[in-house]
A and B are shown apart, each in its own frame.
Chain A
């Protein structure tokens, strides 16, 4: 069965610093991978998705993620954090042929002034 593990339930970075949110997946077949962002009392918004095309995926708000099969990872990065990036981030996976998405437990990103 597929799953995702997000390392670190809370991550704090200074404004302007690199953001790195870690996600590792477990899947016996190539998956589709997603990063979603959730602001307080809001629904989830798709940041980016990997669908077996380019391994480096660019998303909205300056975020990008790289699919590394050898490491079974799909870490989310942003070169320079902004205060507005403070939110909960969810990594998610679905299998080719699957009809539902499996979410990780989420990482809350705190931005320090």
Chain B
């Protein structure tokens, strides 16, 4: 089945130790999103790629970076994780802009713990 896959599902890192979260999709969607979701809160958009064009949200900390080497894969890099970065990280895709009423398809998320 076509889907959005996130690896790993659970990630533990140490304070200040760089970590990379992975997302892949078999939907061939041209837009990929990264969200941060803290406990009992709404998902917060960090950035998205429209094809190779990177779109960063204004309030996303510089500590968060992203790479999209090809259509299928997108990575979230946290350069120096702090305790406040512990959260669920959700990857999502859509075919084109949401203006076309495209649906976002979400992966299962990666829960990041920072020790």
Q: Mark A residues whose CB is within 8 Å of B.
A: 9, 32, 34, 36, 41-46, 49, 51, 90, 94-101, 103-106, 108
Contact = CB atoms under 8 A, between A and B. Distances in A.
B97 interface: yes
Interface stretch (B36-44, B63-71, B73-81): B36-44
Contacts of B9: 41
Interface in B46-99: 48, 50, 55, 88, 90, 92, 97-99
Contacts of A45: 106
B4 A105 contact: no
A24 to B, nearest CB: 15
Given A100-B45, A100-B48, A104-B42, A43 B99 contact: no
A99 B42 contact: no
Interface residues of B, number: 28
> Nearest 6 pairs between A and B by C-beta?
A43-B106, A103-B42, A51-B101, A94-B98, A44-B106, A97-B99
B42 A105 contact: yes
A103 B43 contact: yes
A100 B34 CA distance: 11
Interface string B1-39: 000101001000000000000000000000101000000
A43 B111 contact: no
Contacts of B104: 44, 46, 101
A69 to B, nearest CB: 17
B108 A99 contact: no
Contacts of B43: 44, 90, 103
B12 to A, nearest CB: 15
Which residue, B9, B33, B42, has most C-beta atoms of chain A within 10 A? B42
Contact of A43 (B40, B98, B103, B107): B107
A99 B50 contact: yes
Given A43-B90, A97-B99, A100-B98, A90 B42 contact: yes
B99 to A, nearest CB: 5
B52 to A, nearest CB: 15
Given A99-B50, A104-B42, A49 B103 contact: yes
